[in-house]
Structure formats: structure tokens, C-alpha cells
Amino acid sequence: MQALKDLADVSGEFGADLRFVFLGGGNTSFKTDETLYIKPSGTALANIRPEDFLAMDRSCLRRVFSEPLSDDVWEREEQVKLLSAAAVRPIGAGRASVEAPVHEVIDYAYVVHLHPTLVNGMTCAVGGAEACARLFPEALWLDYCNPGCTLAKVVAKSLSDAKAAAGVQPKVLFLQNHGVFVGADTLDEIRELYALMIATLEAAYSRAGVPTELAVSENCPCTVSGSAPRLRSLLADEGCRAVVNTAGQFIASEGPLSPDHVVYAKSFSYAGALSAAALSEYQHTYGYLPKVLSVPGKAVFCAGPTLKDALAAAVAARDAALVRQLTEGFDGPRFLVDAEWSFIENWEVESYRRKIAGAAAGPARLANRVCLVTGAAQGFGLGIARELVAAGGHVILADLNLEGATIAADELNSEFGAARAVPVAVNIADEESVAAMMSAVVEEFGGLDLFVANAGVLKAGSVKEMALKDWQFVTNVNYTGYFLCVKHAAPVMAAQQTGEGDPWCDIVQINSKSGLEGSNKNGAYAGSKFGTIGLTQSFAKELVADRVKVNSICPGNYFDGPLWSDPKRGLFVQYLETGKVPGAETLADVRGFYEEKVPMARGCTPEDVAKAIFYCVEQCYETGQAIPVTGGQVMLN
């Protein structure tokens, strides 16, 4: 149907324009005589396709206005939900938007409902109604009422009264503390009405001397590093640390302004000292811990169980702050009163939206733990990162090859859901680079639960011939690089500990079977791996006091990874060129030689290593170990 293709195009236009929506909010629809086609719940405007619109039988949907409903607000909302579900065609094809009845009672073929920030600067203001009458005399203004059935019935009566008085429904409907509905019989007219609306409001803010941009400055680095890791534990939910994202400095709204702000960032932000006592008092007052926390003049933190939730809270908090700023153009803010914001916080439909928004969290084996993997752009590192994401972790892919790490992170996010993987650049042999990596992790996630020290290099060669620079290169990366990473990761992990009940953190070094037995003509590599097992044991003894476990995993050969199979620099090539394998004339000869050494007759895989990592994380009585994963090639006494 061409109308739905056109509606999808317009939905995408508005949905991608941050002046009109945030976090995919808003709704669009098209009507025929029999059917209402509407964006379903949980679908972002920017991404909707023509086939995504949910078909609803209009005569069936109208039963919302004719059926007897309960006087109890929650029972009534449940009845309306069931009535709306019964109107979906085919039955069970999707979940109808809670605003479907509102779209039904608007006479026009097309309806576009949005929450433009400039509009909400007026609708959330004390003087909003007066400003609306002055600036938009042909529009209809409705005082705030709870969403759902209540809103649908109020809109139906108000539009009916307006039509009786003027002979036609108004095309623009402003909802106090909510947003705006625009209806018309063509999408071009809807575009024109929105363009005029925005231009009119921009001029009004200019006359009032109110900036239409929010000033956001950088956080204080010391406040971030000193507060974010501890906040993760103070805001923990059922033993799982929160993700704490740093949102920059701005003045957060001191109260709730709209349902969308409440849904994503809760009703009230917290400002002040980030202490356990203060947050406990906040929780006692509101019944939950805050999602938006500010240290005035220093930093703003936004929290959630996942990075996606924390980022959403940050977007909502910034939008609320700008709306709060804009209300000064119309006599200041009109915050939702207790009965209004508490209704939103307890509304099952909004809980469903939050569930949809977080549905990509993945399985719970790593329970949204923040995991950092070095050398993660390819090979073992990328394979390990993929297994950790698949197990529910948030994974930072750190690599000298930032482009490769970015491509890999995009692919993982496409497969497992947004904001599950994040790339970061690092040279683990350079301390400034390692420190910058850890700062980036703390800024994005607040801290770190699992550090997988995977990055490493190998240069094979006889002790009689190896250049000193090659020896130092291997040692600097494999040995010193491990030290530098632990040096900067351990304080972050230690800072997350607030009490005996806090979960352990883990450092897992990806070593090698060459760390358990010598390797012919490969002394630089084997020596660095032997040395790092000594580091692991030493770090384990020291960091156990901080509830940090440190273990090494010693894999066998990953024959299919680039370390071995790269056609120019892989070990098969190096070992052939250095004559390490007697009698080998081809790369296949070298591979066959090494496969024959494995009792289980195959090379090691990232999946094999990931299982050992899970063991290290889940076993709370194991530290300082070097665990072979070699298919029986190396066995401990």
C-alpha cells in the first residue's frame, strides 16, 4: 500500500531528527474506512518499514469507548489492553500502541504524534496553556491527564466538543507535559504544520532570550575515576553491578516533566555527595535508586542494568534538562505532581516498553558484566569477545587496530543487540595508551568486572640469531604489556568493592602451552609466557585482598586464527622459513606436524578458551592458577 510506504518515509524523517523525538518515541498512523494502521509498541520511528505497521479493526477498537469499564484504574487499563489486542488483525500479530484509541478518534487520515523538545518547553511550562492560545490559536490544548484509557476518553470528548463548535476537528492537539498530535489528510500538510510549529516556537524563545541548546561540558576526570567504579556497586541490583555512563556536565531537571522522561530516567535525579548513606536515604524516599546522579560542577552519571539503559537515561536526562531550560520562556516548569508521576512509574504498559528496550540483554551467564578483551580485533581475541557477548556480557574490544575493532564491534552489536560491544584503541606496551584505555572504560561503563589480557605477539627464531630488537618487542608486549594492563585495571576493580557481599572481579591472562613447557627456536615467546605466569601468581596473592581473582589460561594452538594461518606473518610461514619443523617443505607439512602432537587431534578454538574463562569467573575459590586448554598436549603433574 503506497500510503504505508509514504508513512514509513515520513516516520523515518521525523524519527531520525532529534528535534522531534528522542529514543525512538512518538507514533504515526494511517486510516482507511475499516482499518487503522499504526506503529506497534516497541518499534522505533526511525526504523519502521511499511510492513511493520500494525493493522487494527476500527469498529472493534471503538469498543474501548462503548464497553463498560471498571472504576479501578489498573483494572480499567487491563481491560483496554485486552480490547485493543482483540482489534489487531490478524489476532496476535503484534502489540498495539497504548495510544491507538487516540489515533482512532482523530478524523484525519494521517496522524503523527511526537515529543519535540521545543514543543515540550511550552507544554511543560506553567504558562503553557496561555502561550498556546497566543501562538497557536487554531490548536486544541488539553490539561494533563494520565495516559492510556483516561487520555483516550478525554481526547475523544474534547475533539467532539471542538468539532461541534467549529464544524471541523482542529489539526493540532497539544497535551500538557506530554507532546503534540498533528492530523491531516496528507503527509505534506503534516510536514508543513510541524515546520510552522517549530519556527513559531524558535521565534518565541528568541524573544524571551532563552537558549534553545543545552550547554554540556566535560566531566571532571578525577570525579569520574574517583566515583564511577564505587557507584556501580552502590547502585547494584540483586548482586549485579550497574553500568554507569558519564553523561557530561549539565544542570539536571529537579523534577519530572513528561511520561517519557519518567520512563527512561525516573522521576527525580539525585544531586550531591555520592555516598552510601545519601543514596540509601534517596531510596527510602522514592522506593528506588536514582538513574541520574550529579555532582554539581563536576560530573553527571547515568545508570542502568545495561549500557543501553544507561545511555537511554543519559539521553532522557539531557532532553529533560533542555525542556526545563526552555520552560523559562513560559513562566518556568510545571512538574508532574505526585499522582501523575507515580502513575507512570507503576504503569504496566510503560514497564513493557522498558522490557522491549532492554530485550537484547542476552543470556545471564555473565549477567551484564563489563568485560575488556585486549587484542580483540581478530583471532583468539575476537573469538573470545564474541563468546563473552553471547553469554550476556558487555565487551570492550581493545586493539591497536581500532578500525578492525570497530568493524568487529559493529558486527557483534548487529548480531546480539545495540550497545553490547564497544571498540577502543590501545597499545598495551605503552603506559599512556593503557591508562587512556582504562579511562575510556570507566567513562563509558563506570568500571570493569572481567579483564581478559589476550593481546600478544610472537617472533620465532633461534637464540643464536634473534635480533635484540625482536626479543625486546616480544617481551615488551607480552610481559610488560600484561603488567601495565593489570597496573591500571586493578585499582578500578578494587574501587568497586564496597563490602564483603560485593561480587569478585576477574583478571584472566591468555597465556599459552608455551608458558608451561619450552618451545624450540621460540625462546622470546616462551620466556615471556613463563614470566607472565609468575606475574599471575604474584598478582593473585596481592589482589585477593581487593576481591580480585587472577588466573592464566594456557591454550593449545589455534591453527585457524591469523596467528598461525596469516599467509604473510603466520606461524606456519615463520616456522617453515626458520626450519623449525624438520623435513617440512610446505605449509601443510607444518600444520600436519603440529596437529599430530595433539591427542585430541585438533587445534584449540576460542570456544574452548571461553569455557575456561567462564570457569575462572564462576569459581570463587580459585586464583593464581595456570589452566591448560591443550587437548591433552600438555598435562600438569
Q: How far apart are CA 549 and CA 320, in angstroms?
A: 41
In angstroms, the Cα distances linking 230 to 227, 498, 499 are: 6, 7, 11
Read off the C-alpha cell for 190. Answer: 503534516
In sequence order, the β-bridge partners of residue 629 are 555
Which H or E run contains 175? strand 172-175
Q: Where in the chain is the domain with CATH 3.40.225.10?
A: 2-208
**b/e map of 386-420 (b: 16 or more CB within 10 Å)?**
bbbbbbbbbbbbbbbbeebbbbbbeebbeebbebb
Cα(625)–Cα(637) distance, integer angstroms: 13
Q: How far apart are CA 197 and CA 108, in angstroms?
A: 19
Question: Is 539 within 8 Å of 550 (Cβ atoms)?
Answer: yes
| CA dist., res. 32 & res. 461, Å (int) | 77
Residue range 362-557+605-629 forms a domain whose CATH class is: alpha beta
The domain made up of 2-208 is a member of CATH 3.40.225.10: yes
Cell numbers describing residue 270: 539525585
Q: Give one DSSP letter per residue of 232-294, joined into a string.
A: HHHT-BTTBPPEEEE--B----SS--SHHHHHHH-S--EES---HHHHHHHHHHHSS--SEEE
Say what the pTM is: 0.90
Question: First-to-last CA distance in the chain?
Answer: 72
Domain(s) labelled CATH 3.40.50.720 in the chain stretch across 362-557+605-629
The amino acid present at 75, given as its one-letter code, is E
The pLDDT value given to residue 422: 98
Give Cα 560 distance to the centre of its chain.
32
The pLDDT value given to residue 351 = 58
The answer to whether the CB of 246 falls within 8 A of the CB of 311 is no
Contact 492, 447 (CB under 8 A): yes
The enclosing H or E element of 438 equals: helix 431-445
Please state, in angstroms and rounded to a whole number, the distance separating the CA atoms of residues 392 and 123: 40
Query: What are the 10-residue block averages of pLDDT along the chain, 637 residues in total?
Result: 94 93 90 95 89 95 91 87 92 88 95 96 98 97 92 94 94 96 97 97 98 93 94 86 92 94 94 93 93 94 95 96 97 96 76 52 74 95 96 96 97 94 97 98 97 90 89 92 98 92 94 89 89 97 97 92 83 86 90 90 92 96 96 88
Phi, psi angle pair for 283, to nearest 5°: -60, -40
